[in-house]
Each structure stands twice: as structure tokens, then as C-alpha cells.
Amino acid sequence: MRPWVTPETISVDSTKRSREPEVVELRPAYAWDCPECGRGHFFSALVPEYSADEAEDLLDEYDIEPGDGGYFVSVPDEVECSDCGAKFPTELYRAIGPKEGDDQ
């Protein structure tokens, strides 16, 4: 057993078993690996808050139907490795669809 784990920290309160499980909030994040030194990085992304009018304008601008779900996130244009100090421009990973400017 690890020295920092005690029976008190791993015991389960039987009263919690019958209650609804606690819900946790998932937050968007981004990850990248440094091409120079190989170190992996993981950061929380910023989720800007918009007024109702701003949100409506964004939905129109990106041709998103209200109620489709999702959110806008803010990520950096450039990252710097905290290990070796190398800086790199960024590009968002796209799982679906062509990148802007790609031949279709």
C-alpha cells in the first residue's frame, strides 16, 4: 500500500452508495507535444462568455443552428515549451471536414 493512502482515505461511506452520484463539470482543454524536446503539455482552454446578442451573431456567422450544442473556446496562436523554451505557431486539430483553403 502506498504510504499516503490510509484505510480512511479509501473507505466508502455506505450512505453515499444509495444517493445519486455527484456530477462533475467537464472543461475544454488543449494538448500539444513539443517537436524539439518531446515534452507533452496540457492546458485548460478559455470559454468566453457572450451576451445573448453576441451569441446570436456568432451562431449566424458560423451557420450554427440554435440548440445544436457545443461552445466556442479560445486557444493561443502560439505556444512555448516550458521545458526547452521553443515557441511554435498553433493550428487546431480538425476531426471532421476540410481545413479552410483546402481543395474540396
Q: What is the pLDDT of residue 8?
A: 53
b/e per residue, 65-83, with b = 16+ CB within 10 A? eeeeeeebeeeeeebebee
What tens digit of pLDDT does each residue of 23-81 get? 998 889 999 999 999 999 999 988 888 898 998 898 898 888 887 877 888 889 999 99
Q: CA angle at residue 10 from 7 to 12, to 5 degrees? A: 110
Q: What is the pLDDT of residue 4?
A: 53
For the chain, what are the domain ranges?
25-89
Q: Can you give the pTM of this predicted structure?
A: 0.58
Q: What is the pLDDT of residue 65?
A: 85
